Structure formats: C-alpha cells, structure tokens
Amino acid sequence: MRLMSCAIAVFALSLAGPSVAQDLTIVSNVTRDGGAPAASVSYISSDHVRMSESDGREIIVDFKSGQITTLDGKKKTYYVTTRQDMDALAARMQEQMNSPEMKKAQESMKSLPAEDQHKMDAAMDGMFAFNAQKSGTTRTIAGYTCENWTVTMGQFSRTEECLTTGLKFPPQAWEMYQAFAENMKSMMAAMGPMAKSAARMQEQLRKMRGYPLASSTTVDIMGHKSATSREVTAVKQGPIPASAWEIPAGYTRIDNPMVRMLAKKKDH
C-alpha cells in the first residue's frame, strides 16, 4: 500500500506538466484522526522527491537509481526498495497467478452459472472501483488557485482534493518519472484480477492534472476508521540542499518488509 501511495503521489506531480522552474520546497499542515496539526515539509527537484506522510513517515524517491527509501521518524529506522525488489514482487505475483491452485480456482469460477459469475465480477469491481470527479468549484490556497476533486476507492476510501496547475516543477522530473512509472505498471500488471482496477486507476488519475494543495481522506475498513487532512501553507522556490536526500543521523537501516515477505514465501 505504501508503494501504491507513493506511485499516486508521483503520478499527480508529473501530470502538473513539465515546465521550466526551480526546485520546490512545500510546507503543509497535517492532521490525523482529529489530533493537533503538525508541520510537514516536502521537496521536489529534478531527480529526487521527498514526501512526508500523515503517520510521521517519509519517502525519498531517487529517479535516477529507481530506489525508494522509506523512513520512520518515530522508530528512527529506514529501509530501501530497489527496482529489483519491485521486479521480484511482480514476478512473484505472476507466479502465484499461474500456480496450479490459482488455475484450479479460475476453472471453478468458469463452471459457475453466468449469472453468478456476473455477480462476483460486479462485486470485485465495486470493491476496488477507483473514481475521480471534478466538483466544478475552486479555492485559493497559499496564493494558488486550485480545483476541487472527489476521489473514491470502492466504499472504503474517500478523498477531497484541491489541485493546482500553477506550480512549475523542474523539467527533468517528467522524464525521470517515466522510468519510475513503467516499473510500477509492470508490478501492477501482475496483479491478476486487480490489474483491471489498476488500469482504471491510471485512467482516472490522468484526468487529475495538478499538485494537491489540500486533501482530506477518510478510510473505513471493516469498522476501522481513520481520517487525515493536509493543506499547503507555503511554497518556496530555490535550490534544495543535498542533505534533503540523505538519511538523518541516528537512523538504523532495517530489512525491507517486502523482501522478507518474498524470502518467507520462497522458503515455503
């Protein structure tokens, strides 16, 4: 899920459009589950992106190497996800989809009456359906005009966002994004039945041009609810220090949870 969130965030950044501009430092206020707002800083350059998350974690994307570094500020730990890790995950997903057990399940589905098959397909589509709709209204945030959008994922996630095309991003960010996106698409394409939902998600996201200056998300999964809001308070243009892409002192590197999961599955 964390990789998916990262992919969506970078996708939104790229659709703002390649324009000649300086690096950007974006300051926001973030609120989680009704708690006190906390300051959050994100950085966007020609070859890196560093984004903070609502739970206190941060993600650094290195477009040149394809590496994603996830930092946990509370535990003072970090782990790295490489392109090879994502390729391995995609290969593992494809392997599972081609397993005898999965093929047997697929054959069982085909033996069901057409009406039952239709009901099950509709249920899956409804569960993972991703929709984005423009509200037709605008706001002004941190001096930029933005358009309001509503984004839903099935019945369990709803996000209100305000997107601006007024921010000008470093021109190389678009080209660097292309290679990153191809890696993510190869992983999503291996998701079998979910590949259709992934394709629809990409289709819907292409409608949403711009960077989110404000967002408010509510999630309800089997009665477990959470609410997060974020609003940009300032945008600064100018060079970003190299330290923004470095691991802070005192952090310990841990094993990538995805790699551990793949290793455990191989052992079994």
CA–CA–CA angle 172, 256, 190 (5° rounding): 70
Q: State the CATH number of the domain containing residue 91.
A: 2.50.20.10
Asked which of 107-116, 164-173, 202-211 is least confident by mean pLDDT, the reply is 107-116
- pLDDT for 262: 66
Tell me how far apart the terminal alpha carbons of the chain are, to the nearest angstrom: 24
Look up residue 86 and give its two tokens. 């994502």
Looking at residue 138, its pLDDT comes to 97
238 is written with which tokens? 């100018």
**pLDDT recorded at residue 4:** 46
Can you give the pLDDT at residue 101? 72
Q: Is the pLDDT of residue 14 over 70?
A: no
Q: How many domains does the chain have?
A: 1
Residues 6+ apart with CB under 8 A from 83: 65, 66, 67, 183
Look at 31 and 103; give whichever has higher pLDDT.
Answer: 31
Q: Are 40 and 34 in contact (CB under 8 A)?
A: no
Between 53-62, 218-227, 249-258, the lowest mean confidence (pLDDT) is in 53-62
CA distances from 200 to 88, 140, 205, 207 (A): 24, 30, 9, 11
Find the angle CA(6)-CA(126)-CA(90) to the nearest 5 degrees: 40
Q: What integer pLDDT is reported at residue 114 of this predicted model?
A: 73
pLDDT of residue 97: 66
Alpha carbons within 13 A on the beta-carbon side of 226: 8
What is the average pLDDT across 196-222? 79
Q: In the prediction, which pLDDT does 204 show?
A: 73
Percent of the chain predicted with pLDDT > 70: 66
pLDDT in tens, 72-121: 999 999 999 888 887 777 777 677 666 677 667 666 766 767 776 666 66
Residue 141: pLDDT above 80?
A: yes
Contact 218, 157 (CB under 8 A): yes
Q: Which two tokens stand for residue 140?
A: 């002004």
Reduce the secondary structure of 100-156 to three states and give it as a string. HHHHHHHHHHHCCCHHHHHHHHHHHHHHHCEEEEEEEEEEEECCEEEEEEEEEECCC
- Asked if pLDDT for residue 123 goes beyond 60, the answer is no
Contact 135, 149 (CB under 8 A): yes
Residue span of the structural domain in which 181 resides: 2-267
Q: How confident is the model at residue 199 (pLDDT cuts 50, 70, 90)?
A: low
> Structure pTM?
0.71
